[in-house]
Structure 1
């Protein structure tokens, strides 16, 4: 494919994304190279993250101001976890007999599992923050104006 046919990727303008996601990106000092990954995850994960949010008791939801904050925290967490897993792919020892297709399927399944665990861990942390003032403050500090 020639360069003429490859559309140039536009950098993500933080002014165009949700304020909550922008705050988490800035607070966690997410590298600009990850902005596209974070925003893509944010767009595709809303339904699954909403289910997790809805399953939380109100006391855990009250640690944050709203669902959008929860969603933003998870999106950034998933992006970092995804990068870590993908960095390990080249050195991962897989069985000799696996076809490339099977290896790709295994890697995709592993990545899905890691991303799911990010949601599960965030739910657990929010529940814990109800009784842990320091953890609760850590959550709120991300969104302090």
Structure 2
């Protein structure tokens, strides 16, 4: 391994983000939902990557729906968890599916990327719908709030 490759490898290792680098709210979600160790790296990466999308969705929610949770970080953490599980399920299904004969490898890769993006977007959309519903449904609201009780 050349010196440049060694330095690049060290740099990659140095920037590895862990659950400790994330919000307390994400750690609460992980603990409450008993997220398996094998999913933590993906969850942390999804959490970091989805912040802008989550923020846009949060900002578009009515205040009454935002008030179901205490803050944006709780919302963002729930979305990251939902996207992680949905992403794993989707990728597992795609591993089992065969590339159509009329698609090139690049077309199939693009198709999978577009479909994954839709799956992840649907997680955000679904969470928004659930919060809107929870504002008028006290038991559902309590379920959301229970996750973040310390």
Measured against aligned partners, the alpha-carbon deviations of 1:88-124 in whole angstroms (never above 9, x if no partner) come to 0122244211111111111111100000000000000
Q: Does 2:94 match 1:89?
A: yes
* Distance in 2 of aligned mates of 1:98 and 1:38: 31
More deviation in 96-105 or 65-74? 96-105
Aligned to 2:37: 32
- With normalisation by structure 2, the TM-score equals 0.87
Aligned to 1:135: 140
By percentage of residues, which structure has more helix?
Answer: 2
**Aligned residue runs from structure 1 range 1-145, under 5 A:** 13-145=18-150
More deviation in 59-68 or 4-13? 4-13
| Structure 1 consecutive aligned stretches of length 4 or more whose deviation exceeds 4 Å | 4-13
- How many pairs are equivalent? 143
* Distance in 1 of aligned mates of 2:144 and 2:19: 21
Across the aligned residues of Structure 1 and Structure 2, the Cα RMSD in angstroms comes to 2.0
- Tell me how far 1:65 sits from its aligned partner: 0.1
- Tell me how far 1:13 sits from its aligned partner: 4.9
Q: Which runs of 5+ in 2 are unaligned?
A: none
Q: Which runs of 5+ in 1 are unaligned?
A: none
* Distance in 2 of aligned mates of 1:43 and 1:17: 8
